[in-house]
């Protein structure tokens, strides 16, 4: 992998490639080819669904599809172990961490471990939720025990197969590095035993290793896909190529939900390579025009040549300026109550803070725009898509295509980011792709169709993190004791109308909008919420409600510490008391590793501190920042992380680094989606800011040692970054920051 041509790459990348040169790459075989290979080679443990069906008769009735090794473990005759991952891999590292967990209990030879992504089969559902989901930082948290047991069951079956062949008691055998070992130097590789093992009953219960025996879990491990991704050889959903495949792009209305008034497609049809121009239904009752061609460029060129008139009379035209006025009016009215402490002490509090915070809409803006490839056959449909919810997307596809759910196969593809956008209850981009494929077939085009969004489509396409307004009145005394805290949140609900509404909208309050409020501080707070309806589609965004609640809580707590002349770390520790040991441990670790309070900062720099829990993990940041030419500059970030047991330290480090950079991006000028008369004003990275490599501060990540079951790490690194940065800037300027992105003037 490492050759002369790589010397043109940056030195850091050269180093990574050299380090990972001997790391096995992710298996790149499509699912169908993999099944054929398994049959041709005679046997592989885990060729699903055929072998899991074979296991079904021998499996205890209590075992679920998510517990059967046949769906997850494939062992080739040469001993190569391929682990199927039940989540979407879109940068968070599950395509390495989950195989590590399974391989640990399997006692596999890690140099022979490969991984592949799953499908919409129920075997690959989240074992806790019972639905397919990559989200909520749940992948490792929910599948840790599952993948350990899968590995242990497969290992037990391999041991029993060896015991039967040798005519000995299975208890006399042991496993090591991909082989079963017996007395007298006997040895059988897993590849030699796989066929016989598969014919055995699946054990209902297994004994898992003592964590003291772990040899993979907890060890810094290079990602299985590192070489492919860093060398440009990794395939994503956008790279799917089927025989005779066509590409579709869509002309979308300028205002959400608008319909077509007239279409002149004469010039579009004249573009070389164009196969069809079709009027199609779109998400939320809108209409659009799909251009289908033999490649992306002719399809886009033809789309640009369309002459369209839109009917926007029947849809609301949201305007950001007017919306802020409306939100301020709502904040002064009674709302749905979440917390309801006594506010009487507020009137006579010795000290008060009155604050209003404004947070804009945010686009997900993954590097890989949305895409979905659909192939229709007489038997049904196959979809290639980087989906966070392939089960839900498969059912939505079936509805759009007029098929039964079992006739739709979703082959999950690696995705170039997502941050929540690929987990959408409406399955908007999947349904659109299916509608286009169906319309294309009706027009006589019997070929797979890849529907591809442009960068502009992606930025302007909606399903944003909602705009929010917070208003707070805090009363406290000279020692910083909070006497009363009245708080109002105004923002659209992301769950109303979704399958999650029944579980997560309580008494009119979307629980994602208030997550992170008050915890870990036992504050006397009255919190009310308004969820206005707006003609802007909204969705979760990496770390969901904590994107705004952490900023509000941690900057206000810091302001109270400043106004009462208390050290911000000591003040937080005092407020938390002994009730939150994980918060205390994470914060103390960040403080100790940063040198906070001990080293002298360069002139013009200040410390900033924040700590926040989300998705059951705690991240604390201690940062150094300055203000240069009127702009805040973030220099260093020290992270203290408590996520219980760390499966792969390199994954945790990478997730915190990426989340911190994304959190920094929220602070930068231009990091906002705004609307004017219903039209989104931003359209590409030229006018919608995302943090870049040049914005990255020096960052060090430290984890609190723990043997407790792991919690999530995909999102918790994001929320505390912006408030830590803001707190440092406020110490320099003497003025609190109340808005994201930052505005110092």
Q: DSSP readout, 510-522?
A: EHHHHTTSSTTS-
pLDDT at 19 over 90: no
Residue 406 backbone dihedrals phi, psi, to 5 degrees:
-70, -10
User: What digits encode the pLDDT tens for the residues 383-418?
Assistant: 999 999 999 999 999 999 999 999 999 999 999 999
Instruction: With cut-offs at 50, 70 and 90, classify the pLDDT of residue 62.
Output: confident
Spell out the residues 6+ positions from residue 249 whose beta carbon is closer than 8 angstroms to its own: 290, 291, 296, 299, 300, 303, 451, 452, 453, 454, 457
Q: Which of 183, 198, 230 is the last residue of a domain?
A: 230
Considering the domain boundaries, does residue 745 fall inside one?
Answer: no
Element (H, E) at 48: none
Q: How many domains does the chain have?
A: 3
Q: Which of 399, 430, 452 is the last residue of a domain?
A: 452
Asked if 180 and 135 sit in the same domain, the reply is yes
CA distances from 730 to 21, 470, 485 (A): 46, 19, 21
Element (H, E) at 443: none
8-state DSSP, 407: G
Considering the domain boundaries, does residue 669 fall inside one?
Answer: yes
CA distance 721 to 716: 10
CA distance 676 to 243: 43
Residue 450 backbone dihedrals phi, psi, to 5 degrees:
-100, 115
Asked if 91 and 157 sit in the same domain, the reply is yes
Range of the domain at 379: 237-314+370-452
pLDDT at 621 over 50: yes
Q: Is 555 exposed, middle or buried (0-12, 13-18, 19+ CB in 10 A)?
A: buried
Residue 289 backbone dihedrals phi, psi, to 5 degrees:
-125, 125
Helix, strand, or coil (residue 408) = strand
Considering the domain boundaries, does residue 468 fall inside one?
Answer: yes
Asked if 272 and 385 sit in the same domain, the reply is yes
The predicted structure's pLDDT at residue 305: 98
CA distance 261 to 282: 15
CA distance 60 to 64: 9
Closest CA to 734 of 476, 554, 562: 562
pLDDT at 482 over 70: yes
Considering the domain boundaries, does residue 22 fall inside one?
Answer: yes
What residue spans of 363-470 are helical by DSSP H? Answer: 390-401, 428-442, 455-460
Asked if 678 and 628 sit in the same domain, the reply is yes
Asked if 179 and 301 sit in the same domain, the reply is no
403 near 381, Cβ under 8 Å? Answer: yes
Residues 554/557/558/561 CA torsion (nearest 10 deg) = -160
Buried b or exposed e, range 664-684, using 16+ CB within 10 angstroms: bbbbbeebbbbbeebbbebee
Spell out the residues 6+ positions from residue 542 whose beta carbon is closer than 8 angstroms to its own: 364, 419, 420, 659, 662, 714, 715, 718
8-state DSSP, 142: H
Asked if 587 and 671 sit in the same domain, the reply is yes
Asked if 52 and 200 sit in the same domain, the reply is yes
CA distance 671 to 364: 11
- In angstroms, how far apart are the furthest CA atoms of the chain? 84
pLDDT at 3 over 60: no
8-state DSSP, 740: S
pLDDT at 10 over 80: no
CA distance 213 to 15: 31
Cis peptide before 741 (omega within 30 of 0): yes
Asked if 43 and 122 sit in the same domain, the reply is yes
CA distance 199 to 196: 5
Q: Determine which of 181-185, 495-499, 660-664 has the lowest per-residue pLDDT on average.
A: 495-499
CA distance 305 to 267: 6
Tokens for 364? 């997900």
Residue 544 CA, chain-centre distance (Å), reads: 10
The predicted structure's pLDDT at residue 515: 97
CA distances from 293 to 297, 346, 452, 741 (A): 8, 65, 12, 40
Residue 156 CA, chain-centre distance (Å), reads: 34
User: What digits encode the pLDDT tens for the residues 252-277?
Assistant: 999 999 999 999 999 999 999 999 99
CATH number at residue 201: 3.30.365.10
Considering the domain boundaries, does residue 289 fall inside one?
Answer: yes
139 near 92, Cβ under 8 Å? Answer: yes
Residue 292 backbone dihedrals phi, psi, to 5 degrees:
-110, 130
The predicted structure's pLDDT at residue 487: 98
Buried b or exposed e, range 498-526, using 16+ CB within 10 angstroms: bebeeebbeeebbbbbbbbbbbbbebbbb
Q: Which of 411, 431, 452 is the last residue of a domain?
A: 452
The predicted structure's pLDDT at residue 8: 35
The predicted structure's pLDDT at residue 58: 54
The predicted structure's pLDDT at residue 59: 57
Instruction: With cut-offs at 50, 70 and 90, classify the pLDDT of residue 499.
Output: confident
Q: Is 242 exposed, middle or buried (0-12, 13-18, 19+ CB in 10 A)?
A: middle
Considering the domain boundaries, does residue 325 fall inside one?
Answer: no
Asked if 586 and 616 sit in the same domain, the reply is yes
CA distances from 383 to 47, 195, 553 (A): 20, 31, 43
User: What digits encode the pLDDT tens for the residues 423-480?
Assistant: 999 999 999 999 999 999 999 999 999 999 999 999 999 999 999 999 999 999 999 9
75 near 46, Cβ under 8 Å? Answer: yes
pLDDT at 45 over 60: no
Asked if 617 and 634 sit in the same domain, the reply is yes
Asked if 510 and 619 sit in the same domain, the reply is yes
pLDDT at 14 over 90: no
Rounded to the nearest integer, the mean pLDDT of the chain is 92
pLDDT at 310 over 50: yes
The predicted structure's pLDDT at residue 745: 76
Asked if 419 and 344 sit in the same domain, the reply is no
Place of tokens 């997900």: 364
Q: Determine which of 497-506, 553-562, 630-639 has the lowest per-residue pLDDT on average.
A: 497-506
pLDDT at 46 over 50: no
What residue spans of 425-567 are helical by DSSP H? Answer: 428-442, 455-460, 501-504, 511-514, 546-563
CA distance 657 to 587: 17
CA distance 737 to 716: 22
Considering the domain boundaries, does residue 166 fall inside one?
Answer: yes
pLDDT > 90: what percent of the chain? 91
Instruction: With cut-offs at 50, 70 and 90, classify the pLDDT of residue 334.
Output: very high
Instruction: With cut-offs at 50, 70 and 90, classify the pLDDT of residue 61.
Output: low
User: What digits encode the pLDDT tens for the residues 184-220?
Assistant: 999 999 999 999 999 999 999 999 999 999 999 999 9
Considering the domain boundaries, does residue 672 fall inside one?
Answer: yes
The predicted structure's pLDDT at residue 573: 98
pLDDT at 733 over 90: yes
């Amino acid at each position: 992998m490492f050759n002369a041509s790589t010397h043109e790459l940056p030195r850091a990348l050269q180093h990574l490639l050299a380090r990972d040169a001997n790391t096995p790459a992710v298996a790149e075989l499509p699912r169908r080819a993999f099944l054929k290979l398994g049959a041709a080679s005679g046997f592989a443990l885990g060729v699903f669904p055929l072998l899991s069906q074979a296991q079904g008769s021998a499996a205890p009735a209590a075992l679920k599809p998510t517990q059967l090794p046949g769906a997850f473990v494939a062992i080739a005759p040469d001993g190569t172990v391929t682990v199927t991952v039940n989540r979407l891999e879109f940068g968070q590292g599950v395509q390495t961490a989950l195989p590590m967990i399974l391989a640990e209990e399997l006692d596999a030879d890690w140099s022979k471990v490969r991984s592949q992504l799953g499908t919409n089969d129920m075997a690959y559902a989240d074992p806790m939720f019972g639905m397919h989901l990559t989200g909520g930082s749940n992948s490792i948290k929910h599948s840790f025990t599952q993948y350990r047991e899968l590995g242990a069951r497969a290992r037990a079956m391999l041991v029993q197969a060896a015991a039967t062949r040798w005519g000995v008691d299975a208890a006399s055998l042991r496993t090591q590095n991909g082989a079963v070992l017996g007395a007298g130097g006997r040895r059988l590789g897993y590849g030699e035993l796989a066929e016989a093992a598969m014919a055995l009953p699946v054990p209902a219960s297994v004994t898992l290793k003592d964590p003291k025996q772990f040899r993979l879990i907890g060890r810094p491990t290079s990602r299985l896909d590192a070489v492919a991704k860093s060398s440009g050889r990794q395939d994503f959903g956008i790279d799917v190529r089927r025989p005779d495949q066509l590409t579709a792009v869509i002309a979308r209305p300028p205002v959400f939900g608008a319909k077509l008034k007239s279409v002149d497609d004469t010039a579009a049809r004249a573009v070389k390579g164009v196969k069809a121009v079709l009027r199609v239904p779109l998400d939320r009752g809108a209409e659009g025009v799909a251009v289908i061609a033999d490649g992306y460029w002719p399809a886009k060129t033809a789309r640009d040549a369309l002459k369209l008139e839109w009917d926007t009379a029947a849809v609301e035209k949201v305007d950001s300026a007017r919306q802020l006025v409306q939100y301020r009016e709502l904040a002064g009215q009674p709302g749905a109550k979440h917390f309801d402490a006594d506010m009487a002490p507020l009137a006579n509090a010795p000290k008060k803070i009155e604050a209003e915070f404004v947070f804009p809409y945010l686009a997900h803006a993954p590097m890989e725009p949305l895409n979905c490839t659909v192939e229709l056959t007489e038997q049904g449909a196959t979809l290639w898509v980087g989906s966070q919810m392939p089960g839900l997307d498969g059912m939505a596809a079936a509805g759009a295509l007029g098929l039964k759910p079992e006739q739709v196969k979703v082959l999950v593809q690696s995705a170039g980011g997502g941050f929540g956008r690929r987990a959408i209850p409406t399955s908007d981009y999947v349904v659109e792709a299916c509608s286009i494929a169906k319309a294309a077939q009706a027009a006589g085009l019997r070929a797979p169709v890849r529907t591809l969004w442009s960068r502009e489509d992606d930025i302007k396409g909606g399903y944003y993190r909602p705009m929010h307004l917070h208003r707070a009145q805090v009363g406290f005394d000279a020692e910083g004791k909070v006497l009363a805290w009245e708080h109002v949140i105004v923002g659209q609900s992301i769950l109303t109308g979704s399958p999650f509404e029944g579980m997560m909208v309580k008494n009119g309050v979307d629980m994602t909008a208030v997550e992170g409020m008050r915890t870990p501080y036992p504050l006397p707070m009255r919190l009310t919420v308004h969820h206005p309806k707006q003609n802007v589609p909204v969705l979760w965004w990496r770390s969901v409600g904590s994107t705004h609640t952490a900023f509000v809580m941690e900057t206000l707590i810091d302001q109270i510490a400043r106004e009462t002349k208390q050290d911000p770390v000591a003040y937080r520790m005092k407020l938390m008391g002994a009730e939150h040991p994980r918060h205390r441990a994470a914060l103390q670790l960040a403080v100790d590793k940063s040198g906070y309070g001990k080293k002298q900062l360069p002139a013009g720099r200040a410390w900033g501190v924040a700590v926040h829990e989300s998705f059951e993990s705690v991240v604390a940041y201690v940062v150094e920042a300055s203000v240069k030419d009127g702009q805040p500059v973030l220099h260093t970030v020290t992270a203290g992380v408590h996520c219980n047991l760390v499966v792969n330290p390199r994954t945790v480090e990478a997730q915190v680094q990426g989340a911190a950079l994304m959190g920094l991006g929220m602070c930068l000028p231009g990091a906002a989606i705004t609307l004017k008369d219903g039209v989104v004003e931003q359209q590409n990275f030229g006018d919608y800011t995302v943090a870049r490599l040049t914005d990255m501060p020096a960052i060090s990540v430290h984890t609190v040692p723990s043997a407790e079951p792991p919690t999530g790490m995909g999102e918790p690194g994001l929320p505390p970054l912006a408030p830590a940065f803001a707190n440092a800037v406020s110490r320099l300027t003497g003025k609190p920051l109340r808005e994201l992105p930052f505005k110092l003037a």
